[in-house]
Amino acid sequence: MIFASDLDRTLIYTKKLIKEEDNDIVLVERYLGKELSFMKKNVIEKLKKVREKALFIPVTTRTIEQYNRIFIMNDTIKPTYAIVSNGGNILVNGKVDSEWRNIIKKAVDRITNRKFVEKKFLNSFKDTSWIDKMVLRDGLFFSVHFKDKELIDKEEFNSFKSWAEVNKWNVSLQGRKLYIVPSPVNKWDALLYVKKKEKKMKIVSAGDSFLDYPILINADYSICASHGELKKMLEDKTLKQDHISLTEGRGINASEEILESVEKLV
């Protein structure tokens, strides 16, 4: 069995998403001297137990550098595989799997060029004052950071989104960030590559955003954290829910529920 899980807003949470009454929280990431992300203590304990019976694979849109900042992964949980860059890179004991990187490079070269996508995005809006910065991540996809989300023109945004989809680029809005990702760079293809390599049969997966949907819809058992983008898309039927279950709790409490379900399955 494989337990494949998204990290941010699924297993780990920033201060903003933690309520005062949430206790037994442990710091798992520091950035520029600041305490950035946290996990529930019992989630870490349960994850260690799950690890003994199943192959735990973190599956994240974080870049290699951003993933390596989560010290709990490298110091304590030590997963053999980590799928990072939204599936664009696979780390095997911390080292980039170059065979996978080549597969991705060839696939990305076949679709609309990223420079063209960047230009098209910036030209899609009459007013771009809401954009703080647009950053190319691990040479593969863009993250757009907002100054003010309310200033986005919805019509212009939807028109860009439709164009992107036709051109095989996915768009995902997560909090104050927008991800624009070439479709070959997805979490499921990377997970399938590891699954075949490891000859594992079943997958249980967890996530909270549109970019997690491929691993949730294709896994044998799937849990969606009840907050954020994906829950909304399942509820308004933009995406079919199928066998994906939703947690009852929201925020960091969802992570505990996810691990409780996974413990029963492995």
Which is closer to Mg ion, CB of 124 or CB of 241?
241
Q: Which among 8-16, 177-185, 215-223, 258-266 is the span making contact with Mg ion, rule CB under 5 A?
A: 8-16
> Does residue 231 interact with Mg ion by CB under 5 A?
no
Which two three-digit tokens encode residue 50? 């799950």
Residues near 154 by beta carbon (within 8 Å), at least 6 away in sequence: none
Q: Which among 4-12, 38-46, 126-134, 196-204 is the span making contact with Mg ion, rule CB under 5 A?
A: 4-12
Q: Least Å distance between CB 10 and Mg ion?
A: 5
Q: Least Å distance between CB 166 and Mg ion?
A: 26
Q: Which among 14-22, 107-115, 200-208, 240-248 is the span making contact with Mg ion, rule CB under 5 A?
A: 200-208
Which two three-digit tokens encode residue 183? 């479709």
CA 194 – CA 172 distance, rounded (Å): 24
- Angle at 52 (CA atoms; ends 46, 55), nearest 5 degrees: 95
CA 160 – CA 180 distance, rounded (Å): 11
Residue 209 backbone dihedrals phi, psi, to 5 degrees:
-125, 170
Q: Which among 81-89, 137-145, 206-214, 256-264 is the span making contact with Mg ion, rule CB under 5 A?
A: 206-214
- Name beta bridge partners: 78: none
- Contact with Mg ion (CB under 5 A) among 209, 226, 247, 253: 209
- Contact with Mg ion (CB under 5 A) among 2, 8, 56, 227: 8
CA 216 – CA 211 distance, rounded (Å): 10
> Does residue 6 interact with Mg ion by CB under 5 A?
yes
Q: Least Å distance between CB 120 and Mg ion?
A: 26
Dmax over CA atoms of the chain, in Å, equals 54
> Does residue 137 interact with Mg ion by CB under 5 A?
no
Which is closer to Mg ion, CB of 125 or CB of 239?
239
Q: Least Å distance between CB 63 and Mg ion?
A: 14
- Name beta bridge partners: 182: 169
- Contact with Mg ion (CB under 5 A) among 2, 3, 5, 9: 9
* Helix locations, the chain, DSSP H: 41-53, 64-68, 71-72, 98-109, 114-123, 154-166, 187-198, 213-218, 229-235, 252-265
Give the footprint of Mg ion on this chain (CB under 5 A): 6, 8-9, 208-209
